[in-house]
Structure formats: C-alpha cells, structure tokens
Amino acid sequence: MAFTPPQTYTAYAFLERGGPLREIQVPWKNPEPGRVVVRVLADQVTKDQWFPTTVFPRVPGHEIIGDVVAIGQGETTWKVGDRVGAGWFAGYCKTCDRCRKGDFVTCRTMVGQANGVGTDGGYAEYATVRSESLAKIPTDIDPVEAAPLLCAGVTCFNALRNMHAPIPSLVAIQGIGGLGHLAIQFSHRMGFRTVALSSTADKKELAMELGADDFISGSAAEQATALKAMGGAHVILCTAPDPEGMSTLIDGLTFDGQFVVLPLVPKAISVPILTMLSQRLSIRGWPYGTGMDCEDTVNFSKLHGIKAMVKTFPLNKSDEAYEHRSTARFRAVIIP
C-alpha cells in the first residue's frame, strides 16, 4: 500500500532549555535531496539538552530505529520500506580535511549537528535524517533492542575493536550501567579476558551473567591494586563519569596499557605523569561511529546474542521516560 503523508504528526519537544517535554504537532515536509523520512519504531531516551549550541524548540532523540517512508530526489542508497537506524553520527560534509582523509566520524562541519541536538530527533512519529548517516537494520532484530546499539553500543564496540590489545588480553570495564553492561558483553564475545569493575558488590551476579570472567568491587584504588595483582589491564574502558576515580584507576594498567574514556565527565582527569612515562601508557577518547560502524555493531550483537537491557515507554509518555532515563535498567526506549 502506498504511503500517504499526514498533514501533521505528533512529536515531543523541549520548547526551551531546561523546560519539560511538550507534545507538539509538526507539519509534514517532503524530504530534500540527501534526506529520508522514517516512521519511528523506537528511540533511546537520552539527555539531549546539555549541548550548548542546541536551538530550541527541539525534538530530542538520537538512537532511532525506523522504516523509510519517503526519500529525497536522487536518493540511491535507500528506498521506501527499508529498515534503518540513525545514531549520534549526523553525516559528513565531504570537503573538510577530516572528510578528505576518509575519517567521516570526525567531520569538522557536522560537530553539534546530531539528531536531537542540531536537528530534530526521534521523539516523534516521524523523523527526517541525512541519508549518509544511516545504518541498515535487519528486520529480524527487535527495534527496541537495536536502538541502544546506535550510540551506547557502537561507542563501546568501536572503542574495543580499535584498541591495540591482542586476544586474550585483560580488559577491565569500569561501570556496569547503560554503556558498561554492553561493553562487558562485547569484550567477552571478542575473546578478551573481561573484568568488570564496580564500586559496590551488588552487581557481581549481573556482571558474571553478562560475560565477565572476573569482578572487582571497591574504591578505584582497590580496583587498581587488584588489577595489578592480575598482571595489569591492557585496556581499561571507562563507562561511568567519575573523573576522580578514573585518575586513580590508571594505576591498574600494565605496560603499554590504554586508558579509554567514553563518558562525558564534568571536570578534568588528573594524569599520573611518572606512571604514564615509565610504563608507556596512553589515554584515549573514542567517539560513536558512522552508519557502517552501527551496522557492524548491530550485526555483531545479533550474531553473538548481545542484548541491551531496556525499559519501554509509549510515545505519549515521553516526558515520563525522560524523567526515568537515569533509573531505567539500563536504557529507556520510546516506542509508538
């Protein structure tokens, strides 16, 4: 059956910075060249008001799973009916120095243009997204499970597969939350000796179920000491925003170890320079990933049975979902 565009559709938007989500009606617009419109099937609930350049009103949401219902003129990659996903990666300009190197995820022009930040996102019945930002999503994976893989998932997956750590190196995952519970699964399935780190002991059973080979609880200093007793970690992947703990945890690395920071932290991390120099340590950040990276993440997850733990909310409960984004275990997802 041919798709008949509605005159308007429902979305939930922040009308001003710091304000609540409000229901709005959005006039339908046919997509311009280079854009496609998707009927949203699921979107991860995230905190999208923090970006300083966001212009309001703004429909948030940047982990969108949907079906293509309309394409811009000249579109050759996607067709109506395709199942696609759109994460934080907003596309690329093709002309800046980063794009000319083929490193599209670091495109200078598109910084701050992510779905839900620079353009309207998926807290809506429909979303318009850039063609080159999209990932092909298998129709036999639950959209609710796939949505968190397009930002939290691809960030962890990309970071781990791009570190210089031979299998089965010791990889420590700091934090067992929205990113951490996925990182443990990825690390285990990639063949690393996976150690889960938590400040409290109550997540041990969950960590072991997710695939951790070992579990360490306690302060960052205690975690670092325990890692050293194991020979030191080749990679410590930080998923929880604890800058003071991170600074201490660096001591848990072995020679040529890599300390990888994924979350946005509220202040700077102190670096033990003597330890860095004497052990040739490195500290790295890692951003999300392109549409192709998202496809790799979803396909790897499907192949190895990696699942995001989610709590779902209907679109008309978007405000409630947003308020519960930090308490849902572990990701809150909006569905039609």
**Tokens at 9, concatenated:** 């559709």
Fold of 153-285: Rossmann fold (3.40.50)
**Tokens at 195, concatenated:** 């150690």
Q: How many CB atoms lie within 10 A of CB 24?
A: 15
Q: Residue 316 phi/psi, 5° resolution?
A: -75, 0
pLDDT at residue 328, rounded to an integer: 66
| CATH classification number, 8-151+289-335, choose in 3.90.180.10, 2.40.50.140, 3.30.450.20, 3.40.1740.10 | 3.90.180.10
pLDDT at residue 207, rounded to an integer: 97
Q: Three-state DSSP class for 91?
A: coil
**Tokens at 10, concatenated:** 């429902």
| Diameter over CA atoms, the chain | 67
pLDDT at residue 257, rounded to an integer: 97
Angle (CA) 52 125 51, round 5°: 5
The three state secondary structure string of 40-73 is EEEEECCCCCCCCCCCCCECCCCCEEEEEEEECC
Peptide bond into 57 cis (omega under 30): yes
Kindly list the averaged pLDDT for each block of 10 residues, start to end, along the chain of length 336.
Answer: 90 90 96 97 75 84 95 97 94 94 91 86 96 96 95 96 93 96 98 97 97 98 98 97 93 97 87 93 93 97 95 90 73 88
Cα 318 to Cα 315: distance, rounded to the nearest angstrom: 5
Q: Please tell me what DSSP assigns to residue 325.
A: T
Inter-residue contact 61 to 114 (CB < 8 Å):
no
* Beta bridge pairs of residue 86: 64
CB under 8 Å to 323, separation ≥6 — which residues?
Answer: none
Cα 131 to Cα 37: distance, rounded to the nearest angstrom: 9
The position carrying tokens 């990933």 is: 289
pLDDT at residue 332, rounded to an integer: 84
Flag whether the pTM goes above 0.85.
yes
Q: Residue 113 phi/psi, 5° resolution?
A: -105, 15
Inter-residue contact 44 to 148 (CB < 8 Å):
yes
Question: In the structure, how many helices (H) and strands (E) does the chain have?
Answer: 10, 15
Strands (E), the chain: 8-14, 21-27, 35-44, 64-71, 83-86, 126-130, 135-136, 170-174, 193-198, 214-217, 233-238, 253-261, 282-285, 310-314, 331-335
Looking from the CA of 333 toward its CB, the CA atoms found within 13 Å total 29
Domain definitions of the chain by residue range? 8-151+289-335, 153-285
pLDDT at residue 3, rounded to an integer: 87
